[in-house]
Chains A and B, each alone.
Chain A
Amino acid sequence: MKKIIEVQNLVTKFGKNLVHDGLNLHINEGEIYGFLGPSGCGKSTLMREIIMLEQIKSGSIELLGHKIEKIRSRTAQKLRMQWGVLFQSNALFTSLTVAENIALSLKEYTKLSADEIKDIVAFKIDIVGLKQFDGTLYPSEISGGMKKKAALARALVMDPKILFLDEPTSGLDPISAREFDTLILKLRELLNLSVVMVSHDLTSINTTLDRMAVIDNKIIVAEGTLEEVKQTDSPFIERFFNEGLR
């Protein structure tokens, strides 16, 4: 299998606070990969480093064949068009309607006509399970679950290769959360996506993730499939999988 992301000896420091002390992991093409760990262990930071929102201190991250620590701004821009990011708080632009939010990248980066853009937007709205009418609404007028879907449609608009999800099911009710899991699995199947997500949700960890990395005490304590991770001897893993399921 082809590696699409490879992290080597990654060290992250905020001031005096050492967050990551030499992380190593890789993510294969077509996988749904999860970052797990107690809160404050730097899962989201790791994701932000991979999508180039945060500078890395030392070590290297290779993304679709490019080393991002010495990337040129044009290459970086090209890379950014090959992934979609769904933020924890959705980060929809509040002054634009859902349809305008989704259409933004198409308007900016392609020379497609308004009519063609509209067709693509309508398609993406349908594929994430929103109604066409929802496209005319503003983010403040729709529910949390719909916002998630709208943000997902925006992340998918350029047909990305990789989808980054930061706690996608947090703030959703259990039914919407399960729907979201199903949606992710379906989209992976349909669009040949690779998905990287930060998650706390045990059910979604069980049902969606192919492989995962557990970060605790600044290092990766376990990496691999769910079975492999569960067999690792670590107090966090013990508590997370056993007490959480009771």
Chain B
Amino acid sequence: MLKVSVENLGSRTLAAIESIGFAARFFAAILLRSGTAFSRFGLTIREIYFSGVLSLIIILVSGLFVGMVLALQGYETLQTFGAEESLGILVALSLVRELGPVVAALLFASRAGSAITAEIGLMKATEQLSAMEMMAIDPIARVVAPRFWAGVVSMPLLAALFSAMGILGGYLVGVQLIGVDEGSFWSQMQAAVDFEQDIMNGVIKSFVFGIAITAIALYEGYEAPPTAEGVSGATTRTVVTSSLVVLALDFVLTAFMFRGL
């Protein structure tokens, strides 16, 4: 009994290590065969449309509502200290440092990541990737790499738009609805938000999240068993894994960027 369970543990560990190895090689292959994604940039632009532009609606609407809720909740707390003029700082810093990159990444994972996995998985299941290989066209260079770079480019832009919409939402609720002074809302925000410390760090975060989500989505799709259950399982795994990876990476990056603050 004990022997069997030790054996099981061993084989599972080996399988896990092996799949990490596969993923690493896959990632290296994407980077090495990215030439086409840049030399024929039209291929990448097309994928930016599918994963970036088509994600705009959900990102913009969510950003607006998150900003509005932040203003409501923030005002409640700040007014007990008589600091409601600082509402602008609270909304802007929360968004550009944390909520913008992280929430936009979670939405991106479920909107674009799942679509990428399902598409690549179905292309594999219907032998389209095999057909491409037999036509002497490398599917990693032609299909995978353009989607990867499209995700990497789209993610920081979406996160920036999320934050911008959130700040607009915060302004609408804080200034227009509740009546916080407009001048101090904007001027305190401008004085407190640092370009390098806050905005650039947020951009770096969303850039890293973009790499992680797109790489996971592509890997899951490429390795999906060519069946209906295989593709649906892979799509679910993309959303779950990339969401958890985004949250874990966020903690690590925040620890490095804002320690001692």
Query: Do A and B interact?
Result: no
A residues at B contact (CB < 8 Å): none
Chain B residues close to A by CB (< 8 Å): none
